[in-house]
Structure 1
Amino acid sequence: MLERIEYIAGMIGEQRHLRALRDGILLGMPLIIIGSIFLILGNLPISGYTEWLNDLGLAPVFAKIVNGSFGLMALVAVFGIAKSLAEFYDVDEISAGIIALSSFVIVTPDLISKAGSGISYIYLGSSGLFVAIVVGLISAEIFRFFVQKNFTIKMPAGVPVAVEKSFAALIPGLMVILVWSLIYLLLGFAGIDNIHTLLTNTLGKPLGVLGSSLWGTLIIIALNSFLWLLGIHGANTVIPVIQPIWLQNSDANRIAFQAGKELPNIVTNEFMLNFVWMGGGGATIGLVICLWLFTKSKNNKAMGKLTVAPGFFNINEPVLFGLPVVLNFKLLIPFIIAPVVAAVVTYAGMAMGLVAKPAGIIVPWTMPPIISGYLATGGKISGAVIQAITLVLTVVIYYPFVKLMDNADLKEEAAEEVFNTDDKKVIS
């Protein structure tokens, strides 16, 4: 049964479209993090700081940097998704990505004014993610179909490779753009002037219920932990489907934070990565601290010393595969319960207004707890405090299970020492 589950989950995790989705969104992470840095710099919680920035003329510059980095999330994603999928099919990934980017611009409605026309930042950022995903995946599929069917222009030998690739992409690229142009035309005839609104309502709302609600979040957490216990990379299997929702929520909070308005969302990308999965999947920060401070067996103490430093930077592969946690059903209960408790306590604190909500600032996932909570909430001390509380709770949850495991390991080590001693006596 477990082998069957592992096989199915492994196939899902390696499914080409999900991999393209994951890799495409990850391509934009450097820009998102850079934008978050300037979002922090533009909104430091210091009295008179924002007025000082305005006086210097830096506030609009910082805002422009944020829009030109964080605000291009969908634009980067559509290129990255198409590129990744085309790379899987072993066709020209750069051309596929560029053509998908062009298709995204074609189907996105223009803002028209007396000064001219253009595209709103709204659709270039998180609000355009669903269209970016659909356009990226479909464009790459159409592109590779025509390439693999040899509907391409062949150039004579001796032509530079760059020129050859450009002409080879001409017909497949033309077909991709014609398809999206036709879709744009048909939607206009149907009275639908915005594909972004259409896809957000049809795809975004059902996923939004799962990705934004507490109960949906708990399901995702439990599934992620269960897959990790089977030795399957839970994050690669679960997160690609739901992360666009978290990123949309993060960006909505970012826009509200910049405008000085009430933050609309609790469950965001940073809520999950910085407040729930502290130490990595399973909130294993509590586990590595228990191994480090409260174990007596040689193996567990050594494992604690080796894993506590990476654990504080949210890298938990050493403990997952070194202890191991994978296929260790003695740790099944805390591995699921610890992140669930962290999510419930943090969500409750934010819902009651005791803890600041995530401000849409994407903090690198390797940022240690306490610091990451402070930064993710826009410099609010309550973000650090709630992380300290949940960190202690994860230690408390893991402690009895680690002690039971450690006591069993101590007995085994003692028995092994006796056995080795008896062997030496026999030999002598």
Structure 2
Amino acid sequence: MTQMRTLKVALLGCGNVGAQVARILIDDADALASRTGARLELSGIAVRTPDARRDVELPADLLTTDAESLVKDADLVIELMGGIEPARSLILTAIRHGASVVTGNKALLAQDGPTLYEEADKAGVQLSYEAAVAGAIPILRPIRDSLSGDRITRVLGIVNGTTNFILDQMDSTGAQFADALAEAQRLGYAEADPTADVEGLDAAAKAAILASLSFHTRFALEDVYCEGITGVTAADIAAAKDAGFVIKLLAIAEKLSDSEGNEGVSVRVHPTLLPREHPLAAVHGAFNAVFIEAENAGELMFYGQGAGGTPTASAVLGDLVSAARRIVLGGPGRTETTTGHVPALPIDAAVTSYYIGLDVADQPGVLARIAQLFAEHGVSIETMRQTVHREPSSPATSAELRIVTHRASEAALAATVQAVKGLDVITSVTSVLRVEGV
């Protein structure tokens, strides 16, 4: 009987996800071997503090602080340290020593992915990163492989569980942003410093990865327009709800043509109103979902847990088994599928709708002046709702207008809002949010 080959696996990082990956490699070793065709031997786990307390009990002799020696002697390396350095240097060392790499480091891929892809191509090894976007949801491989014969035209994604939990809490309970954030932190959905999540930076890194795969072009973090949720108020949520919408932080990548007819891709992250009947509107709590539109496949949606140790470990192990099977069977590594260059378009070129909240004087001719101003800027109003406020102590009245526009360029919509602010009958512009799915 032929003895089964053994592949050495080095694990960098032993946090929430890393500990679960280590547990699965140890507990499910036989099952993984049968699926892979080789035994996956966990050769070591690089950590900062070997004696730190962990949720999973692991053999002490596996823990080491010498990450560089570990990766130089591995067939497969799993990087779950996060951050840019030393993760970047260790991945490059692993690749140059012939190891295939699995990573969940979306920040590094969004910032310096091209360098890593080129080095992996040069070395003939595999660089896999399913866990970098949407946790347990298998989304990157379907885009790269299953839809490789189609043309993706648009991707909409809820790819950050923290912000989805916060906005869902505000929608379902009427909570203010600060209270919803505090609850997310209490439940472990948000870090003590939630900046990367609530400012949209985490989602923007994932948007760059999704856009790169979907449109076969390398997009970096600086190509992504980014706007977080810190400015979303309970009043915005209530007004959206009253109008039949829900607010979600969306990562959007879509192919467009600019004003001169040049084709490009708009990649952006921002709070967005969705009709409550839209499939993404039903994504609650810390769950994630990605909605894809393709020329031939039509509309597809992928839904599941977007974070957490065990769900994300599932994505890591899927990549690991795939990379190990490639080593066993032979053949070149699979990294990315960039075939050309489609430029990233600025936010001004994006085509969307706006929801605009206005406090106005309740007097004859106000609606006509506003409608005329919109028409002058080439923006069509889809719906307009007016609520009149009467103060008992004063004969003067004011009104709140809620306007939803038809789709237009971001540049035209922004110019319209700026012009509206200059009208003497406008008391204040209470909210401006983008709308999708109408």
TM class by shorter-chain length? under 0.3
Higher helix share: 1
Q: TM-score, normalised by structure 2?
A: 0.21
Higher strand share: 2
Q: TM-score, normalised by structure 1?
A: 0.22
